[in-house]
Amino acid sequence: MRVVVIGAGIAGLLAAQQLHKAGHDVTVLDKGRSPGGRLATRRIGAATLDHGAQFFTVRDTQFDHHVQQWVHDGVVREWCRGFSAQDGHPRYIGTAGMSSIAKHLARDLDVRCNTFVFEVLRNEDTTWCTRIDDGSSFQSDALVVTCPLPQAYSLLITAHVDIPEALFQCAYDRTLGLLAVLDGNTAIPAPGGIQNPTSDVQFVADNFQKGISAVPALTVHFSPALSEQHWDDNPEVLHQLLLQHARQWCGNATVIDSQVKKWRFATPRTPWPDRMWRHESLVIAGDAMSGPKVEGAALSGLAAAVAINELLN
């Protein structure tokens, strides 16, 4: 079958990979500059910083099968087994940053980045027409939509599919992030990460200790409450506010460069209870399905591929 996958995060990439292996003609469309979604890594000068997901864990045996293959391929490695205390569960990271996982998954796929999908239509023969903002379109027998649910709703409203209203009532927490390059070592203890150090901060990572950056560099993710409160602040005022919050982890080092990052659809508050939702040849999947973490998104993508393959049986 011809399959279009909207969204090149881990859910969309794993779905596309499995469908490609099954012999389908798969095209992945994403509005971003590179695949990965929140498997995101940015370079600022000599620094390399993960600015989306900082790590992932594994609980499910199906996901573990894929992760161990990535470890074997040298794409993923264990970072640690806890931050303030060891709990025995490995925290995995991309060896060259989290985006390296996405690049690995996309290597044999037809992934079209910088491609803004604005509408999906249902053809008279029940196939799908995915329309792009440049006037082009993609025809497919099946469609997998893995972008955040509010975006999925806006794309599918013209397709006249009877989708449960509750599916699109999922609200998302926003996350503000600060990326900071330093001229010396941070004040973060080994192994280079702190979870929930203050009421305003969710996570702080030392990308140098993490092993992905050649120079000291901080990633700071702020709480949903602070992010919501300051989301629309003047950009320069916001930048200075976040720098002020981050200074306690800079130690004696000075920030020599920094950027603010905004994640509008960071964490779904009430995930859909199933790993995906399917209507005929349409599947909705992603991190809002059955769990917001990297593993939940991955399992949702794998379930989407199974659902599409079942159309042949």
pLDDT digit string, tens, across residues 188-228: 999 999 999 999 999 999 999 999 999 999 999 999 999 99
The pLDDT of residue 88 is 85
Give just the sign of the alpha carbon dihedral 63, 69, 70, 71.
positive
2-170+271-312 classified as CATH 3.50.50.60: yes
CA dist 276 and 304 (Å) reads 6
C-alpha span between 43 and 219 (Å, rounded): 12
Q: Residue 52: pLDDT band by 50, 70, 90 thresholds?
A: very high
Any idea which residue has 């800079």 for tokens? 250
pLDDT in tens, 238-259: 999 999 999 999 999 999 999 9
pTM of the model: 0.96
Angstrom distances, CA of residue 132 to CA of 31, 127, 242, 298 = 10, 17, 36, 26
Contact (Cβ atoms closer than 8 angstroms) between residue 12 and residue 28: yes
- The CATH number that domain 172-268 falls under is 3.90.660.10
Phi, psi of 203 (to 5 degrees): -155, 140
Q: How confident is the model at residue 313 (pLDDT cuts 50, 70, 90)?
A: low
Tally of residues, the chain:
313
What residue type is assigned to position 198 of the chain? Answer: T
What is the structure's pLDDT at 234?
A: 98
Mean of the pLDDT values across residues 12-33?
97
Residue 310, Cβ neighbours under 10 Å: how many?
A: 9
Burial tier of 244 (Cβ tally within 10 Å: 0-12, 13-18, 19+):
exposed
Q: How far apart are CA 187 and CA 255, in angstroms?
A: 13
Strand partners, 130: 120, 138
Give buried/exposed letters for 182-201 (b at 16+ CB in 10 A, else e): beeebebeebbbbeebeebb
In tens, the pLDDT along 85-144 reads 888 899 999 999 999 999 999 999 999 999 999 999 999 999 999 999 999 999 999 999
Query: For residues 264 and 271, what is the distance between their CA atoms, to the nearest angstrom?
Result: 16
Task: Say whether 172-268 and 2-170+271-312 share the same fold.
Answer: no
DSSP assignment of 83-147, as one string? SSS--SPPEEEEBTBTHHHHHHHHTTSEEE-S--EEEEEE-TTS-EEEEETTS-EEEESEEEE-S
Which helix (H) or strand (E) segment is 20 a member of? Answer: helix 10-21
The confidence score (pLDDT) of residue 168 equals: 86
Q: What pairs with residue 203 in β-bridges?
A: 195, 221
pLDDT confidence tier of residue 165, bands split at 50, 70 and 90: confident
Q: Which residue has the tokens 């790993």?
A: 275
Each domain of the chain, given as residue ranges in start order, spans 2-170+271-312, 172-268
Average pLDDT over residues 60-80: 97
Q: What is the mean pLDDT of the chain?
A: 96
Instruction: Give tens-digit pLDDT for 250-284.
Output: 999 999 999 999 999 999 998 899 999 999 999 99
Q: Given this model, what pLDDT does residue 46 score?
A: 97
